[in-house]
Structure 1
Amino acid sequence: SRLGAGYGDTITAVSSEGLTRNFKIAGLFHTGTTARDEGEAYVLLKNAQILSARPNAINEIRIKLDDPNRAPVVAHRAETELGYKAVAWQQANESILEALVVRNVIMYTVVGAIMLVAGFGIYNIISTITHEKARDIAIMKSLGFPEADMRRLFLLEGVAIGAAGSLLGGILGVSMTYALSLVRFEIAATGQEMTRLPIAWSLMHYVIASAFALGSAAVAGYLPARRAARLNPVEIIRGAS
């Protein structure tokens, strides 16, 4: 559009060597990256070599893999067998990957702190239930319930609270994530056009969060459960009377 040309028109390209060559616009592409869309054009390799006065020269070869994680292995193999320097995309974008690692550490630290606070909440709930059920505990122990059963009873209650919270939190999280994915906006100032939030959907995130929640609930429920199992039924009944 800046050249006033369109599909099917012929333009003249001039190289730094002073060579000129006519090219017909056979197609248009749009990647969303402003720097590439405004500064790149694709031509046949032979024509590019002639225009740059470098016949039979190739600057760069890019290899696209089905599995991007195998890039370091393939780069090492290519460098060993061909003798040319090969760089994997992980190595080329090392600074960005390091920033993502730091972000993940911060994210999991915040999530861990939230789980810790939730664990204290479950501990308070189970402790309150234990105090309110002291008379019932005494009666059950008088009837012959062993301490192991009492511990198991309150521990299961804590785990049940954690499981219910995990289920409710998972449903709420999926709903909020889906709602965020529907938000539309446009940002072109950074050179990358975006119309929606780049949200990553992964079942592993919910599995990890649920595991943390159940672990916190189990630990928070065990301490009151152990205290409840050690209560002396005679003292409880005598105090209640």
Structure 2
Amino acid sequence: MYELKIALRHITARKRHTLFAVLSVALAVGVIVVLMSMMSGFTEELVRVTVESSPHIVVSSQDQDDEYLHFSSYYSGSIEGIDGVEAVSPSLLGQAALSFKDNAVGAALHGVYASSEEQTSHVSKDLTSGSFLDLDRSRHGIVIGDNMAEELDASLGDWVTMVDPLAGSSNFKIIGIFDTGTDADETTAYVRLETLQDYFSKEGVVSSINLRVQDPFQADIIAAAIEKDTGLDAVSWIESNKEILELLNTQTAIVWIYYSLIYFIAGFGIANTLVTIVMEKKREIGMLMAMGIPRKNITFIFIMEAVILGTVGVLLGCIMGYVAALGIGSYRIELPQEVYYGLTTLPIKIDPLNFVYAGVFSFIINVITGAYPARKASSLNPVEAIESE
């Protein structure tokens, strides 16, 4: 295949130009692979934290005049039977002050059945000491966040006092301390459901029923089914985090524009190399056409050169991107835990699709940018080309 031989000879004739053209593509692909891996990692981590550490659906009363759900056992049983629901956990919310020694903090109290709440929110995975499930066996046990414990200057085993102007005061023993890396560590506390109901004189009622479903991305559909069957208000994690998810989609569109600009800049590196070859090889191109080589074959030679340069650049860029992504992913960064869900390393997700997208898109743009010099070469006048030197 003489076209391939000519294309390779052109490419190897100017090694420095070829090297810079290949490196421009490789750097573009490498940068894009790293950026896509970082974006995939942040997005996956955000969704993971939202999906894994929070209820997928929160069911509450539709009556604005009554913030509590009555007959929670009946509703829990009905909801649990709906297709796709994995676990349910009734919860009573309340506000009170917690004090220890001379320190006091405001607390958002969650009265729960620990075994059920563990199935819906996976609280135990964030525990740094003690046991969350012991709540079911301790009428006066409490589980608090590590930042709250620090403000109170209290530790596991200490007794804190819960104070409310109407409900009075009651003592609770710290049986667990958790660390989520979020603001919840400063304000959230868990106690046994019946204990909180007795404390606030709210026997038999709950604020909400928390749900975990088998497929989190079907939460909207299941929430609609719950509202239809029970007449209650059901809000999925997708609905409650709608603004964040829309922001991610907008960010993705903007980032792809940024990717395209980088690709086109790299593509011009190849185009510049090919234009230089055309200018230097005018006489050779003219002689080829004078020998009867069709113009479409001349075009094909330069398109092939763009393909070769682009392919080498893409492969090298994928290797560079992979190594860089691994390095960045293992690099330790100093961040306060509350800044980003307790992470201490950049969340990098090395997804094979990122390499496919970066490689294919870059390859296509390289071929497109190579079309101009290819067309320029095929449009030369053979006589003028031969006499140009």
**TM-score with structure 1 setting the length:** 0.85
The reply on whether 1:237 has 2:367 as its aligned counterpart is no
- 179-188 vs 72-81, greater mean Cα deviation: 179-188
CA deviations over 1:30-80 (Å, ceiling 9, x no partner): 2111x2122222222222222221112121222223433222222212222
Provide the rounded CA distance (Å) in 1 between the counterparts of 2:208 and 2:226: 13
3-state DSSP class of the match of 1:184? coil
Aligned length: 239
CA deviations over 1:157-199 (Å, ceiling 9, x no partner): 1122222222222222222222222132122464843312233
CA contact (8 A) 1:154 1:221 kept: yes
Query: Which position in structure 2 is the counterpart of 1:140?
Result: 288
Provide the rounded CA distance (Å) in 1 between the counterparts of 2:354 and 2:252: 12
Question: CA 1:100/1:191 → structure 2, altered by over 3 Å: closer, same or farther?
Answer: closer
Query: Which position in structure 1 is the counterpart of 2:334?
Result: 185
Query: Which position in structure 2 is the counterpart of 1:125?
Result: 273
Query: Which position in structure 1 is the counterpart of 2:309?
Result: 161
Provide the rounded CA distance (Å) in 2 between the counterparts of 1:97 and 1:233: 59
Query: Which position in structure 2 is the counterpart of 1:214?
Result: 363
The reply on whether 1:116 has 2:264 as its aligned counterpart is yes
3-state DSSP class of the match of 2:334? strand
- Matched to 2:377, the amino acid is A
Question: CA 1:98/1:125 → structure 2, altered by over 3 Å: closer, same or farther?
Answer: same
Provide the rounded CA distance (Å) in 2 between the counterparts of 1:193 and 1:216: 40
Instruction: After TM superposition, give the deviation of residue 20 of structure 1 in Å.
Output: 4.5
Query: Which position in structure 2 is the counterpart of 1:46?
Result: 194
3-state DSSP class of the match of 2:238? helix
- Which of 210, 213, 220 is matched with 1:62 structurally? 210
3-state DSSP class of the match of 1:86? strand
Question: CA 1:16/1:90 → structure 2, altered by over 3 Å: closer, same or farther?
Answer: farther
**Aligned-pair RMSD on alpha carbons?**
2.5
Could you tell me which runs of 5 or more consecutive residues in structure 2 were left unpaired when the two chains were aligned: 1-148
Could you tell me which runs of 5 or more consecutive residues in structure 1 were left unpaired when the two chains were aligned: none
- Matched to 1:229, the amino acid is S
- Matched to 2:185, the amino acid is D
The reply on whether 1:195 has 2:344 as its aligned counterpart is yes
CA contact (8 A) 1:155 1:218 kept: yes
The reply on whether 1:18 has 2:159 as its aligned counterpart is no
Query: Which position in structure 1 is the counterpart of 2:300?
Result: 152
Question: CA 1:171/1:196 → structure 2, altered by over 3 Å: closer, same or farther?
Answer: same
- Matched to 1:94, the amino acid is K
Provide the rounded CA distance (Å) in 2 between the counterparts of 1:82 and 1:218: 59
Instruction: After TM superposition, give the deviation of residue 100 of structure 1 in Å.
Output: 2.3
Question: CA 1:162/1:8 → structure 2, altered by over 3 Å: closer, same or farther?
Answer: same
Q: Which has the higher strand share?
A: 2
CA contact (8 A) 1:155 1:221 kept: yes
Provide the rounded CA distance (Å) in 1 between the counterparts of 2:270 and 2:299: 16
CA contact (8 A) 1:151 1:228 kept: yes
- Matched to 1:58, the amino acid is V
- Matched to 1:85, the amino acid is D
CA contact (8 A) 2:167 2:200 kept: no
- Matched to 2:382, the amino acid is P
Instruction: After TM superposition, give the deviation of residue 150 of structure 1 in Å.
Output: 1.8
Provide the rounded CA distance (Å) in 2 between the counterparts of 1:194 and 1:223: 48
Provide the rounded CA distance (Å) in 2 between the counterparts of 1:192 and 1:136: 63
Instruction: After TM superposition, give the deviation of residue 200 of structure 1 in Å.
Output: 3.8
**TM-score with structure 2 setting the length:** 0.55
Identical residues among aligned pairs (%): 34
Query: Which position in structure 1 is the counterpart of 2:240?
Result: 92
CA contact (8 A) 1:11 1:22 kept: yes
Question: CA 1:228/1:26 → structure 2, altered by over 3 Å: closer, same or farther?
Answer: same
CA contact (8 A) 2:337 2:344 kept: no
